[in-house]
Amino acid sequence: MLVGGLIGFLMTGIEWSKLKWLVAALSVGLGFGLQEIFANFISGLIILFEKPIRIGDTVTIRDLTGSITRINTRATTIVDWACKEIIVPNKAFITEQFVNWSLSDSVTRVVLTIPAPAHVNSEEITTVLRQACERCSYVLDMPAPEVFLVDLQQGIQLFELRIHAAEMGHSIPLRHELHQLILKGFAEHGMEMPFPPFQVRMKTLGKKAPASNGTPASRTFKSGGI
């Protein structure tokens, strides 16, 4: 086909010296057009041999978090928590920074910040939080849960609860169950969840009525803190 094409061009009077510039221009344009495809193909080979990601891994790249379901030569498919399939070029996993939550170990740490009233004994609050961790079915015994009093604000003690889940997919169910257990523990010990400090409430008193000096009725602002 190549020889036949060259003979055809020669028979029509088109010489190779004039044709080679067109071929060179087409080659350059084709090279730029295939640059990203070639880069993704080479990145797919690197992923195949180095295995920075595997099918079933939970990863975070850019603002996307999900599970790897398919790795092709050009792109990788990620399914997020909304069950949407996102196609990510393989080049992104080689040239960009990403997080693989289950590369060598699927265990994931979860950190919760729990407020508590300032007048309650901190040791009692620590006991309630530890008991909630023991009752939660998603919290691992090893590594052991940790409870720290990390901050003191106006009327509030802030505790940091550090626990571990078996995998990334247990993170949301763990938070749900553990928050319910903490609220139940607070209720059993007669403790209430405090309001944030410097909470501002706005109340409109009555309807708008003309004032004696001609100015409209004002709104009253109340700052309610603990």
Q: Is residue 120 pLDDT above 90, yes or no?
A: no
Residue 217 has pLDDT above 50, yes or no: no
What does the pLDDT average to over 162-173?
87
The ranges of the chain annotated as CATH 2.30.30.60 are 36-100
Whether 85 contacts 78, CB under 8 Å: yes
pTM score: 0.58
Segments of the chain assigned to CATH 3.30.70.100? 108-188
Report the CATH architecture of 108-188: 2-Layer Sandwich (3.30)
Q: Where are the beta strands (DSSP E) in 62-214?
A: 64-71, 75-80, 85-89, 98-100, 108-117, 146-153, 156-165, 199-203
Q: How far is CA 39 from the centre of its chain?
A: 27
Q: What is the pLDDT of residue 223?
A: 45
Question: pLDDT class for 225, splitting at 50, 70, 90?
Answer: very low
Per-residue tokens: 134: 């023991």
pLDDT of residue 88: 92
Report the CATH number of the 36-100 domain. Answer: 2.30.30.60
